[in-house]
Chain A
Amino acid sequence: MNTNPLHREAVPETPNRLGVEGIEFIEYTTSHPQALGQVLENMGFRPVARHRSREVTLYRQGGMNLVVNANPEDARMSGAADGEPVISAVAFRVHDALKAHTRCIELGAWTVPSHAQAMELHIPAIHGPGSTRFYFVDRWKEFSIYDIDFKPIPTVDQHPKSIADMSYFGVVQYIGVGRSADWLAYFENIFDFTFISDDQRFGILPKGKLMKSPCGQFLWQLIEPEPWMDGDESPESLQRIGLGVADVGAAVKVLKAQGVEFVESSQLHPEDRGALTRGMLGSVSFELVHQTKSSA
């Protein structure tokens, strides 16, 4: 006898055909790695390892890995003015990286050729918006990709705690005029993201369209230019990282003490729901979002 009440109306389960299981790392590319490093350290990230063959540094706090890529060629290709830092990649944890990558290519994603050197990991990737990339990583349980491609910085704690227990909450993507429907379709089709209705919002910057990853571990926000920004032809990009935190006030207090400035205006200022750091080095900013353990 069929006892599952959902079967009667064929309510679909949320598919996760790529086997996405969270964000493994987010990558910034810049030709000013030291300046960005300072910003990251103020935000609570600590440099823990360096890449074996390239000018790439791994930062970490709590469960968040953040990679700073200062490889001259990549910094040139990232499209940022004067080598200012830009978010150049997001690596998704997946069940099987090769399968995930193959599925994306079959669905119409553009593959990115690998530049792995001898004995380095080939991390499959596809092109994202603008000049960004999406990586697929499946080695994050029993051992990590950093064990192979990176050398730990001596004497440094490899697992620094995060400020106020912050974790990756999501990514904000800036898109072109009238492009919301396109990108919603893209993430839904390629990654099985699901649309979150407009009346459900988190944090203090509720604009645009919101999606949830199929694993439920992070959100993705799409923001078009305002109608009055007529002719805003700036390239599409990954604009900022959202950090989830249970106690926004506590996090803001610690971060302020470390020299982080927050946007404080009558419309936008730190409050219980969230806070936005003032843009540094061009457009590097972080958004704190109030998150109870079940809200993302």
Chain B
Amino acid sequence: MNLLDGFGMDTITMAGSLDAKLSAMKQAGFSQVMLMARDLVGHPGGVPEAVKVIQASGLRPTGFQVLRDFEGLSGHLHSYKVDIAKSMLEMCAATGSKVLLACSSSSRHATDDLDHIARDLKKLAMLALPLGIKVAYEGLSWGRTVNEFTTSWDVVCRADCPNLGIGLDSFHIFAANTSLDAIEDLDPEKIFLVQLSDFMWNETPTFEERMTTARTFRVFPGEGVHSEDLADLVMRLDRIGYRGDYSFEVFNDDYQQLPLNTVAERAKKSATWLHNDVLHRSAPLPSWTRPHKA
């Protein structure tokens, strides 16, 4: 088993072209990539060329991001968002991504009725279903109604749809200070994506602080001040049986100014830390478990 299997980078972490990002990830040894819609539409050759580049890279898409502010709207706002969702789903399918990331709404035009939110997410899941796409619903820590994974899980349970699950993001869990005990309540089969990152300070009490930190100063797992919590989170997920992908969603203004290979190497170091020191995946079985030689 490749040491980096199960871990991937998000394209949002690096500057430069899609081609250069994929190449740097591959060179560092990663086998998957979390794609952003902007990577496709911003490609000089347009979406079809971007898709070719992704296919040629041999990297497996971890997922496709991000649909924002979809749920809880009504009337023409809802219709507008359905159109946006359909375009996102078409791009997601074109790249061969099996997971679309949908973030909880921060819109003040959206309702706080959890049943209404669940109904809209079920609709999104139905739109995604014929395309073979799963929807990972993630609670942003500044989401208006859904801002903790406990609530996003509640909504996903209410919607009760096989291709609708949750996406977890360590940043939002730590920023919102949600207790990790609630991880035990999750069904590992319904966690469709786990995004990992850390940051450099302990408190982010306001939505504004959370947003600024989230968008400019995240760091790779093992580089921030929540390493122990992050290790605890990953261990708990492992314990309940989560065997899906981990992707590094690291928005960082500094990393945007560094050579791509340097950033990819930092990601690799982080994956190695999680693999060896947190999950102990490569540790050999203790000697007493091996059969005696005759």
A-contact 0/1 string along B142-173, CB 8 Å cutoff: 00000000000000000001110000000000
Q: Which bucket holds chain B's interface residue count?
A: 10 to 19
Cβ contact within 8 Å between B132 and A186: no
When C-beta atoms are compared, the residue in chain B nearest to A106 turns out to be: B123
A106 to B161 CA separation, bound complex (whole angstroms): 16
Q: Report how many residues on chain A are interfacial, defined by Cβ distance under 8 Å.
A: 19
Asked if residues A110 and B161 are in contact (CB atoms below 8 Å), the reply is no
B126 to A176, Cβ gap below 8 A? no
B125 partner residues in chain A, CB cutoff 8 A: 108
In the docked arrangement, what's the CA distance between A128 and B126, Å?
A: 12
- Scan residues 175-192 of chain A and give those whose CB is less than 8 A from a CB of chain B: 176, 179, 181-186, 189-190
> Which has the most chain A C-beta neighbours within 10 Å: B123, B126, B163?
B126
| B163 neighbours in A (Cβ, 8 Å) | 182, 185
| Chain B: minimal CB distance from A199 (Å) | 22
In the complex, whether B86 has a CB less than 8 A from a CB of chain A is yes
B130 to chain A, nearest CB (A): 6
B129 CB-CB contact with A under 8 Å? yes
B86 contacts which chain A residues (CB < 8 A)? 110
B130 contacts A128, CB within 8 Å? yes
- Whether, in the assembled complex, B36 has its beta carbon less than 8 Å from a beta carbon of chain A, the answer is no
Contact digits for A116-146, partner B, Cβ 8 Å, 1 yes 0 no: 0000000000011100000000000000000
Q: Is B122 interfacial (CB 8 A cutoff)?
A: yes
Closest chain B residue to A235, Cβ basis: B132
Q: Which residue of A lies closest to B82 (CB)?
A: A108
B162 & A185 in contact (Cβ 8 Å cutoff) = yes
**At the interface, yes or no: A107 with Cβ under 8 Å from chain B?**
yes
Contact with A along B92-128 (1 / 0, CB 8 A): 0000000000000000000000000000001111110
Judge if A109 is at the interface, Cβ distance under 8 Å: yes
Q: Are A110 and B162 in contact (CB under 8 A)?
A: no
| CB of B165, distance to nearest CB on chain A (Å) | 12
| B129/A176 in contact, CB under 8 A | no
- B126 (CB) vs chain A CBs: closest residue: A108
Q: Whose C-beta in chain B lies nearest to the C-beta of A175?
A: B132
Give the shortest distance, in Å, between B278 (CB) and chain A (any CB): 29
Contact of A129 among B122, B127, B130, B161 (CB under 8 A): B130
Which residue of B has the minimal Cβ distance to A179?
B132
Q: In the bound complex, do residue B126 and residue A190 qualify as a contact, i.e. CB atoms below 8 Å apart? A: yes
CA distance A182 to B126 in the complex (A): 9
The reply to whether B162 and A108 form a contact with Cβ atoms under 8 Å apart is no
CA distance A19 to B56 in the complex (A): 48
Interface core residue of B124, B162, B163 (most chain A CB under 10 Å): B162
Contact of B122 among A108, A110, A127, A184 (CB under 8 A): A108
In the complex, the 5 A-B pairs of residues with the closest C-beta atoms, listed nearest first: A108-B126, A108-B123, A181-B162, A108-B127, A182-B163
